[in-house]
Amino acid sequence: MLDKTIAARIFEEVDRDFDRQMADTQRFAAIPSLRGREGPAQDYIADLLRDRGYEVDDWTVQPGDLAGLPDLGALERVPAGVRSVVGTLRPEGGGGGRSLIIQGHCDVVPAGPADMWNSPAFVPEIRDGWLYGRGAGDMKAGTIAGIYAIEALRRAGLRLNERLHLQSVVEEESTGAGALAVLQRGYRADCALLPEPTGLAYNGICVGVVWFRLRVRGRPAHVASAGSGANAIKAIYPLIKALEELEERWNERAAKDPDYREVKHPINFNPGIIKGGDWASSVPAWCDLDWRLAILPGWNLNDCRREVEDCVKQAASRNPFLAQNPPKLEWSGFLSHGYRATERPDIMQALEHAHSNATGEPLRHKTSTGANDARFYGNYFDIPAFCYGPLAENIHGLDERVSLDSIRAATKTIACFAAEWCGVYRIDSLRDSEAAGTCGGCDGDEE
């Protein structure tokens, strides 16, 4: 267990550097790294890592290069490729510890209507102890917290005994291709920590997510003779209703799950995007509806996909127009199993110590109704993975925000966890006061 005085020294460094950490968080959150436009965000992280002496690997793969990887979603909308940035710190001495991956995603979801935000989504603003902005909580504050956690160790004159990879990926919000790309590249460790906004709780359980698009095509007509033309938008109704019924059946099934039976309505089917028609006075010839749905850990993805296909097929067969013009179902993004981490006593102990040192409170556990990249590590590469990070609200919604106090606490926890997990050694040739000036990127005037 980490020595109390060492922990106190680490916390001092987190506090001392916190303004700079928040300035970096704000600058990072100001980058509108929407899907396919993450380049500047990856540049930003690569620079932060390079400044701190990490060996930086920055590469791009095309969707086709990832074929065959497990649970890879449909990548039709990623023409620019999948870019990953990994910073590595190798132990210069020490040894005998365990290696660690800290991974964040830099992609963010669209902000929605600009006039519905109290301050612009990509002009991050601090108000009343919260940082507001799209992606501030999910999960730019967490990624920067990971970097500053390791920085605090270095400023405290400590070095990790084992290899650390700080990874920034894309596509977390749509296919998971970013996490798969770093695994394909060969990055491995004894444990992976993802500083997603868990509200300072441990999260090792998450749902799987599936995206699909329903395409309905009808015969166009003038609205005055609507009887003769099939209305593609109206034809979507019975399909929505049928899928809502399937959602309820899946929630009944979920009520028997030991982890999810306490969670209210864990399975959410979301019709998220609807497009259709071209003219108010024309009967719409087409309608596309994009869905997100969830499956619980342990459920078979292919069986679930078949259930969805059958549900759409049956609903279509009961409708006179759809029976003649069967809707098309296309998988359009996520195709992912859920994840239930095996709780490893060594990881739990290190995290419990770190969290209670940093916050003075016992560690809570959280069961997630969303998906995250931990699943790839745990499900397919035998790397125990979990999420732990700050407290955020309205992620994917309006006025997304993340609490500054929780960012500070998460940074301290991550620093202590890394120190305990990887093991640390002191730089003997330097006194504490001088050691803080040895890391790249430090202002050197804090002492």
Which residues are near Zn ion by CB under 5 A?
Answer: 138-139, 196
Both structure tokens of 102 = 């800290």
Both structure tokens of 407 = 């960012």
Q: Minimum CB separation from Zn ion for residue 347, in Å?
A: 21
Q: Which is nearer to Zn ion, 139 or 183 (CB)?
A: 139
Q: Minimum CB separation from Zn ion for residue 330, in Å?
A: 25
Q: Which is nearer to Zn ion, 24 or 196 (CB)?
A: 196
Would you give the DSSP letter of residue 136? Answer: I
Q: Minimum CB separation from Zn ion for residue 447, in Å?
A: 36
Q: Minimum CB separation from Zn ion for residue 100, in Å?
A: 19
3-state secondary structure of 303: helix
Q: Minimum CB separation from Zn ion for residue 371, in Å?
A: 9
Handedness of CA 161, 437, 408, 387 (dihedral sign): negative
- Find out whether 216 and 232 touch, Cβ atoms under 8 Å: yes
Both structure tokens of 3 = 């020595």
Distance CA 17, CA 442 (A): 9
Q: Which is nearer to Zn ion, 142 or 157 (CB)?
A: 142
Q: Minimum CB separation from Zn ion for residue 161, in Å?
A: 30
Q: Which is nearer to Zn ion, 24 or 138 (CB)?
A: 138
Q: Minimum CB separation from Zn ion for residue 172, in Å?
A: 6
Handedness of CA 17, 18, 19, 25 (dihedral sign): positive
Contacts of 20 (CB under 8 A, 6+ apart): 443
Q: Minimum CB separation from Zn ion for residue 208, in Å?
A: 15
Q: Which is nearer to Zn ion, 176 or 229 (CB)?
A: 176
Q: Which is nearer to Zn ion, 11 or 130 (CB)?
A: 130
- Residue 419's nearest CA partner among 17, 97, 89 is 97
Q: Minimum CB separation from Zn ion for residue 375, in Å?
A: 13
H helix count then E strand count, the chain: 12, 21
The H-or-E segment that residue 414 falls in is: helix 404-422
- Find out whether 426 and 157 touch, Cβ atoms under 8 Å: yes
Q: Minimum CB separation from Zn ion for residue 158, in Å?
A: 29
Q: Which is nearer to Zn ion, 138 or 257 (CB)?
A: 138
Provide the residue type at 328 as one letter. K
Distance CA 324, CA 217 (A): 11
Contacts of 59 (CB under 8 A, 6+ apart): 83, 84, 185
Q: Which is nearer to Zn ion, 139 or 189 (CB)?
A: 139
Distance CA 339, CA 217 (A): 37
- 130-135-139 Cα angle (round to 5): 90
- 71: number of Cβ within 10 Å: 19
Provide the residue type at 176 as one letter. G
Provide the residue type at 92 as one letter. E
Q: Which is nearer to Zn ion, 171 or 196 (CB)?
A: 196
The H-or-E segment that residue 433 falls in is: helix 432-435
Distance CA 403, CA 392 (A): 6
Q: Minimum CB separation from Zn ion for residue 123, in Å?
A: 21
CA distances to 385, 412, 421 from 155, in Å: 27, 13, 18
Q: Which is nearer to Zn ion, 229 or 338 (CB)?
A: 338
Q: Which is nearer to Zn ion, 17 or 138 (CB)?
A: 138
